[in-house]
Structure 1
Amino acid sequence: MTWMQVYAPIADHLLLSALVALVPILYFFWALAIKRMKGHTAGITTLLISIILAVAVYGMPAEKAIMSAAQGALYGLLPIGWIIITSVFLYKLTVKTGQFEIIRSSVVSITEDRRLQALLIAFSFGAFLEGAAGFGAPVAISAALLVGLGFKPLYAAGICLIANTAPVAFGAIGIPILAVEGPTGIPAMEISKMVGRQLPFLSVFIPFYLIVIMSGFKKAIEVFPAILVSGVSFALTQFVTSNFLGPELPDILSALVSMFALAIFLKFWKPKTTFMFAGEKEAAAAAEESDENLYTRGQIFKAWSPFLVLTGFISVWGIPIFKQALTGHYDGSNPFLLVINEFGKALTFSPEVPFLNNQILNSEGVPIEAFFKLEILGSGGTAILLAAFLTKFIVLISWRKWLTVFWETLNELKFPVVTISSVVGFAYITNASGMSTTLGMTLAMTGALFSFFSPVLGWLGVFITGSDTSANLLFGNLQKITAASVNMDPTLAVATNSSGGVTGKMISPQSIAVACAAVGLTGKESELLRFTIKHSLFLLLLVCMIMFLQHTFFPWMIP
């Protein structure tokens, strides 16, 4: 039995319907930011409210609403939850075996300054992981590393979420931009060029903004040369690669260039004062002598090896042709990939969602497919688990202790995984019922002001779905159609959906849950949301201004 989406169910009035569609989002903000509920409580109740509204107001059949929530919840478990579990597991292995103390010492040997450590790890290394894997791994791993170095958990999580703004649009080997080519018909290369003429402005600004948040304006000026090296090298590489190579490599290459440029620069330049958090200076002074030359290069290489192996696996898992084999979709003749393809085929399941697949029609009467996506071998979490498996032999830990650490990780993350599953279920309900489309169509009514408000659609889409890819698929075509109706370049609008979306990543319920899980702040999601929301809105305003200026005064920037 099919059901057709209705986008204005209340008296055929779009604005009134949009107010109803906003209820779950406003409730979630209220539950976390004001009521300060635990993340899993806020997530589950938000999911229940969205189901009730979908059925009672939007007329969605109950079984379809429930199965849509189940589809989202399962996606929250795999791949997202699986990535978080394996990321934290790998980190805990290095801590339990004493290797992380060596990592900490090696980073301190480059710089003891917390500001510069944040640039190296939260900004550059996090961007590399975003480009290679995405799906929460960058924030989970980078935040855990910062906590291990001595950062306060809330600061570590918040800083990594904000730093993750710069690379999100080109994350996971350019998937957000490659995906939106299909529904819009605009070549991915053209969208890549346009995004590459917007985000570099943010990429230059983000490092400075991060340090201001951490230490204040005066302390940021002290390390301004390092900030320039980090931000400018990243932004220039991002611009060149996105405009001349395509959307696949900007993050990876920009991150590597930025990381190495800053590390080399710090060999020749040091700030006048070393910034540390309150209460750290005395401990650092006592440990300074004992840490100096404490470890050999071989010991340092061994300690970093788990993360080098992780980088290798994640990079390989992101290669398109290898990804095809891992999911059983390879159709070439390479013998090695054919063997992997067989394993991938056996470990990839795509059953249709009962009561849902092709049973929901959009406003044009086109049925919407709905499948459970279970790519076990192809998941980024499996790549991280394999890195953890090899780490067992690198750090020489017993199987008993290895399994004990894995069990401890599962036990610690049970509530965060519930939070992630519930908020992804909420996202799927919002999409399947038509509520997200209602909100998008309402913003599209801004007419001539659409050139300013266009990024808000991307921001809203990423907040709801937790993914720039999903936000592009959700609103990309709406951006194109609306742009044409208000005499605006469609490529600019579609690209801005992606650029605006990156500013919503830091407040997405999924991202908040992932970051809290990584740094041991389970149940403190409300504090992290209160930390990031003002920064999200400020950066969104900057993207809105860039969009407006490019449309109104600098149309020559549009490819």
Structure 2
Amino acid sequence: MWQQIYDPLGNPYLSALLAAIPILFFLLALTLLKLKGLTASMLALVVAVLTALLVFGMPLHSIVGATIFGILSGLWPIGYIVLMAVWLYKLAVKSGKFEVIRGSIATVSEDQRIQVILIAFCFGAFLEGAAGFGVPIAICAALLVELGFKPLKAAMLCLLANAASGAYGAIGIPVIVGAQQGGVALADMSLMMIAIVQLSTLFVPALLVAVLDGWRGVRETWPVLLVIGVLFSLIQTLTLYLLGPELVDILAPLVCMGTLAAFMQFWRPAHIYREEGAPPMSDQRWSLREVIAAWSPFYILTGVILLWSLPAFKALFAADGLLAGTVLRWSIPFLHLQVQELPPIVASAHELPAIWSVALISAPGTAILIAVLLTVLLTPRLSWQAAGEQFRLTLTELWRPLTMICLIMAVAYIANFSGTSSTIGLALAEVGQVFPLISPIIGWLGVFITGSVVNSNTLFAHLQAVTATQIGTSQALLVAANTCGGVMGKLISPQSIAIAAAAVGQVGGESAIMRLTLGYSLALLAYVCVWTFGLSLLL
């Protein structure tokens, strides 16, 4: 049994600085050194192994176990989800449905500023609420490219749009897990989420248009930005307050998509904005039946994922459920229950489980696979042979980003099991009364390391709650701050970047996407930090 060491150098700040070296190296590799994502992730893994071994004293066999665990978790469920989502998109293109989809979007507006609100903001938020795990980025970024957006800009816009919805996908799990791990009431945490993040949500549509067309774009589309920004944030707020987090990213996007379509029948901007080089939208108009058929892959996807999210369906795969046997579990050798996590990260010392679960049926990737199979069945122009060829092409295109995701997950699991991520959190917690100002940074780092707001809350929600008690502020506030900071970290998490690059056909261009998005992520994080600190003084 090996016990985690949180301050190997006898100085919490110096220990945290060394613990952060793999993260800092990866950021520098993508931004300053402009290395390809796969190269940067391979080098970051080497740095993480050396840090865990030489500084924190983690046994080599446990490091190997954590590396294997991370790679397996990158393959399943994350890699499985990305592979199925991109395959579904390619089938929609192959079937010729995208010509109709483009035409149906043109009936809403030919203006690309409106299209980015409809696709990246509204439809992306809906997919985040229904599926999460990179599905909205993969699907919406590819859709924008088909509509004539430049690939890198399409990827960046979809990442930025996730700032409004990332806290509540899928089906509110990040907030629920945060409340559970932090030991706070879900209703209290929901109120704090409203207080921290819903104000910024108002301005995300304006941010997307400003990125696309500057201040002129905001001036020319302000009625849409006002209606959608206020309506989206208002419905999210009411849903959080009255119903809880589960339907926040379901109800708001659905209402806003319908409202936007109706609003554009009575209003249009002063001039139609199209990016230079973007092909003109087709003048052809399609029947309602053709439009419904064209969008059918995404209707099917939504329906299947919502079914997968129902508590009754999930109960089938619980330990005593009817289909429990379809969930395969493998204990990772040299790691499962071989590493002990210690206070103050946890209430009492306990051994960390390391079990790789393969949910053959209940995985979100399987829901997408079913949508793929139904799409092929219901599309006369698609043969099974053509579908198989598209899968082969998808696999050929995605093996590099999937490998990158697996390597980054290995870095994350080494950080989690070696205690280096906890070391960073503890050092930040040393600042005392100023802690609420930097509390969201812990969540930001947690998502950058793990790629998931859920995982960040699993890692740090308890630490946030304990620190809140020590400095005499609201536990729910700091757990919510961890969640909101994590959402801003999701904009530049290596997994999100890899998915976005793959979706727009820019594998190897991860460093460019990172450079485009990093500044916005840091600016939004700064807002969350300052606003959280202000709230801590009032509560």
- Aligned pairs, how many? 533
**C-alpha distance in 2, partners of 1:321/1:42?**
42
Q: Read off the aligned partner of 2:355 and give its amino acid letter.
A: F
**C-alpha distance in 2, partners of 1:136/1:279?**
28
**What stretches of structure 1 of length at least 5 have no aligned partner?**
332-340
**What stretches of structure 2 of length at least 5 have no aligned partner?**
344-348
Q: Match of 2:147?
A: 149
Q: Read off the aligned partner of 1:507 and give its amino acid letter.
A: I
**C-alpha distance in 1, partners of 2:508/2:409?**
18
**C-alpha distance in 1, partners of 2:37/2:307?**
33
The answer to whether the 8 A contact 1:174-1:248 is kept is yes
Q: Match of 2:68?
A: 70
The answer to whether the 8 A contact 1:193-1:246 is kept is no
1:448 to 426, 429, 433: 433
Greater mean deviation of Cα atoms: 194-203 or 89-98 = 194-203
**C-alpha distance in 2, partners of 1:394/1:5?**
54
Q: What are the superposed Cα offsets for residues 80-126 of structure 1, whole Å, 9 maximum, x if unpaired?
A: 11111111111111111211111011101110011110001100111
Q: Match of 1:376?
A: 360
TM-score, length-scaled by structure 2: 0.97
**C-alpha distance in 2, partners of 1:551/1:82?**
41
Q: CA deviation at 1:346?
A: 3.4
Q: Match of 1:538?
A: 523
- Kindly indicate whether residue 385 of structure 2 is the aligned counterpart of residue 385 of structure 1: no
The answer to whether the 8 A contact 1:302-1:394 is kept is no
**C-alpha distance in 2, partners of 1:540/1:183?**
22
**C-alpha distance in 1, partners of 2:309/2:383?**
30
Q: Match of 2:284?
A: 292
- Kindly indicate whether residue 330 of structure 2 is the aligned counterpart of residue 346 of structure 1: no
Q: Read off the aligned partner of 1:316 and give its amino acid letter.
A: L
The answer to whether the 8 A contact 2:181-2:457 is kept is no
Q: CA deviation at 1:329?
A: 4.0
1:124 partner SS: helix
Q: Match of 2:462?
A: 477
Q: Match of 2:298?
A: 307
The answer to whether the 8 A contact 2:182-2:475 is kept is no
Q: CA deviation at 1:323?
A: 2.1
Q: What are the superposed Cα offsets for residues 162-188 of structure 1, whole Å, 9 maximum, x if unpaired?
A: 100111111111111211233322122
**C-alpha distance in 2, partners of 1:445/1:262?**
47
Q: Match of 2:346?
A: none
**C-alpha distance in 2, partners of 1:512/1:216?**
24
1:274 partner SS: coil
Q: What are the superposed Cα offsets for residues 328-371 of structure 1, whole Å, 9 maximum, x if unpaired?
A: 5464xxxxxxxxx43xx333111211111111111243111111
The answer to whether the 8 A contact 2:447-2:456 is kept is yes
Q: CA deviation at 1:549?
A: 2.0
Greater mean deviation of Cα atoms: 70-79 or 442-451 = 442-451
The answer to whether the 8 A contact 1:39-1:419 is kept is yes
2:277 partner SS: coil
RMSD between aligned residues: 1.3
Q: CA deviation at 1:321?
A: 2.4
**C-alpha distance in 2, partners of 1:115/1:106?**
16
Q: CA deviation at 1:52?
A: 1.5
Q: Match of 1:323?
A: 314
Q: What are the superposed Cα offsets for residues 255-299 of structure 1, whole Å, 9 maximum, x if unpaired?
A: 11221111111111111111110133xx42xx65xx232x22211
The answer to whether the 8 A contact 1:87-1:137 is kept is yes
Q: Match of 2:42?
A: 44
**C-alpha distance in 1, partners of 2:181/2:161?**
29
Q: Match of 2:126?
A: 128
- Kindly indicate whether residue 501 of structure 2 is the aligned counterpart of residue 516 of structure 1: yes
The answer to whether the 8 A contact 2:301-2:368 is kept is yes
- Kindly indicate whether residue 267 of structure 2 is the aligned counterpart of residue 269 of structure 1: yes
Q: Match of 1:119?
A: 117
Q: CA deviation at 1:253?
A: 0.9
**C-alpha distance in 1, partners of 2:514/2:312?**
38
Q: Match of 2:5?
A: 6
Q: Read off the aligned partner of 1:518 and give its amino acid letter.
A: A
Give the % identical residues.
43
**C-alpha distance in 2, partners of 1:494/1:232?**
25
- Kindly indicate whether residue 350 of structure 2 is the aligned counterpart of residue 362 of structure 1: no
Q: CA deviation at 1:320?
A: 2.4
Q: Match of 1:166?
A: 164
Q: CA deviation at 1:393?
A: 2.0
Q: Match of 1:488?
A: 473
Q: Match of 1:32?
A: 30
**C-alpha distance in 1, partners of 2:319/2:138?**
29
- Kindly indicate whether residue 415 of structure 2 is the aligned counterpart of residue 437 of structure 1: no
2:203 partner SS: helix
**C-alpha distance in 2, partners of 1:109/1:158?**
25
2:330 partner SS: coil
1:402 to 364, 372, 387: 387
1:165 partner SS: helix
The answer to whether the 8 A contact 1:40-1:419 is kept is yes
Q: Match of 1:193?
A: 191
Q: Match of 1:234?
A: 232
**C-alpha distance in 2, partners of 1:53/1:114?**
46
Q: Read off the aligned partner of 1:521 and give its amino acid letter.
A: Q
The answer to whether the 8 A contact 2:178-2:480 is kept is no
Q: Match of 1:253?
A: 251
The answer to whether the 8 A contact 2:30-2:40 is kept is yes
1:216 partner SS: helix
Q: Read off the aligned partner of 2:399 and give its amino acid letter.
A: K
Q: What are the superposed Cα offsets for residues 189-225 of structure 1, whole Å, 9 maximum, x if unpaired?
A: 2212211222211110111111111110122111011
**C-alpha distance in 1, partners of 2:62/2:304?**
38
**C-alpha distance in 2, partners of 1:449/1:179?**
25
The answer to whether the 8 A contact 2:465-2:475 is kept is yes
**C-alpha distance in 1, partners of 2:327/2:65?**
20
Q: Read off the aligned partner of 1:322 and give its amino acid letter.
A: F
The answer to whether the 8 A contact 1:305-1:394 is kept is no
